Amino acid sequence: MLKTLWLDPPRARRSGRRRGGAGLGKKLAAAAAVLAALALSGYLVYASVTSKPWRLGGYTVRGTSYLTAREVLAAAGFEAGDNLFWADLEEAERKICRHPRVRRAKVARRLPAEVVIAVEERPATATFVLNGELYKVSSDGVVLGPMTAGYEDLPILVGVRYRAARDVTGKRLCRGELGEALATLEALSRVDPAWAAAIEYVDVNDRVVALAAGRYVIKYSANFDERTARRLRRVYKATRANGHGGATYDVRFGTDVIVTYRKAGAGGAGGGSADDGQV
C-alpha cells in the first residue's frame, strides 16, 4: 500500500526557534563577557588612580619672597592625601591668584605624588592711609594689607585718604591720580632700586616725589615712564652736588629736565592736602 509522508511544519518551526535561541544565547554570553571585562578594567583603572601612589605627598613652590610655601599650598586648596589624578589644576591656579600678593600662578603635576607651583608675587610699592591706618599697595593698585602685617620700608602717598566700612585687602584702587603715582614709583624703582628707596613720600594731587627728607623733589606728569626716569636719573647724578640746599627736578615738559636749586637751609617741599574718597 502506497503511503504519502508529510513533513510536519509546526515541528520544523519549533526546531528553528531552538536553533535561533541558541545563537542568541551565545551572543548574550559574549556581550556579558565583554561587559565584565570592561567593568574589571574600569575598576582596575579606578583602583590604580585612587591608590596611595597618586595621593599628594610632596610639593615644590617657586618664586616666593613674601609668602611661605605652605601659604601658597593652602591658597591652592591642596591638602596631604589629595588625589592628584582628579585634581583641577586650573581651578587651583585661580584660587592662588585670589591672594592679593600673587599676580600669576602655574600649577603642574610631578607624578606620582607631587605638585609644582610657580608664582609671581606683587611687591609693595607704597603705603596709603585707610581709616587712619597705613596700608600697603602694589604698583598695579592692589591693596596688600595693613602695614602691621609685616613692616616694609615704603614711601607714603599723601594728598589722598580713603575710608571704608570693611577690610579692603585684595581690592584694586582705580583712582587716576593714584595710578599715576604708583606708575611713577614703579618706573623709578626699575631704573634704580636704591634711588627709589630714598623716596620719602609722593604728593598724589600735586604730582610731587620727595627724596632725602624733601631735599630733592621731582615734579612728574601723568605719562611718566621708565625712559623719563632714566633721563632724570642721569641729570640727577650730574647736578645734585651743585645744590647744597637741595633741588627740584621738573620733568613735566617733554624731554627737558628743568633743575631749580634751593639755598642751604631752605625748607623742602611739603605735602599735606587731603582728598577723601570711598573705596
pLDDT score for 87: 83
pLDDT score for 164: 79
Q: What is the mean pLDDT of residues 66-89?
A: 88
Q: Exposed, middle or buried, 143 (CB in 10 Å: 0-12/13-18/19+)?
A: buried
Residue type, 208: V
Report the mean per-residue pLDDT for the chain.
80
pLDDT score for 18: 54
pLDDT score for 5: 42
Cα-flanking dihedrals φ and ψ of residue 119, to 5°? -125, 155
Is the pLDDT score of 133 beyond 80? yes
Is the pLDDT score of 231 beyond 60? yes
Q: Could you read off the pLDDT of 140-162 as tens digits, one per residue?
A: 999 999 988 677 889 999 987 77
Residue type, 276: D
Percent of the chain with pLDDT over 70: 73
pLDDT score for 13: 52
pLDDT-based confidence at 105, cuts 50/70/90?
very high
Is the pLDDT score of 85 beyond 50? yes
Is the pTM higher than 0.95? no
pLDDT-based confidence at 80, cuts 50/70/90?
confident
Least confident of 74-88, 91-105, 212-226: 74-88
Q: Could you read off the pLDDT of 180-207 as tens digits, one per residue?
A: 999 999 999 999 988 888 999 999 999 9
Q: Could you read off the pLDDT of 25-64 as tens digits, one per residue?
A: 666 666 666 665 555 454 444 444 455 666 878 889 999 9
pLDDT score for 20: 58
pLDDT score for 94: 96
What are the residues facing 6 on neighbouring strands? none
Percent of the chain with pLDDT over 90: 44
pLDDT score for 195: 86
**From the centroid of its chain, how far is CA 57?**
25
pLDDT score for 246: 87
Is the pLDDT score of 97 beyond 60? yes
Which of residues 139 and 10 earns the better pLDDT score?
139
pLDDT score for 240: 75
DSSP-derived secondary structure for 51-82: SGGGB--EEEEES-SSS-HHHHHHHHT--TT-
* 3-state class (DSSP) for residue 245: coil
Q: What is the mean pLDDT of residues 167-186?
A: 88
Domains of the chain: 52-121 (3.10.20.310), 124-278 (3.40.50)
CB 136 within 8 A of CB 152: yes
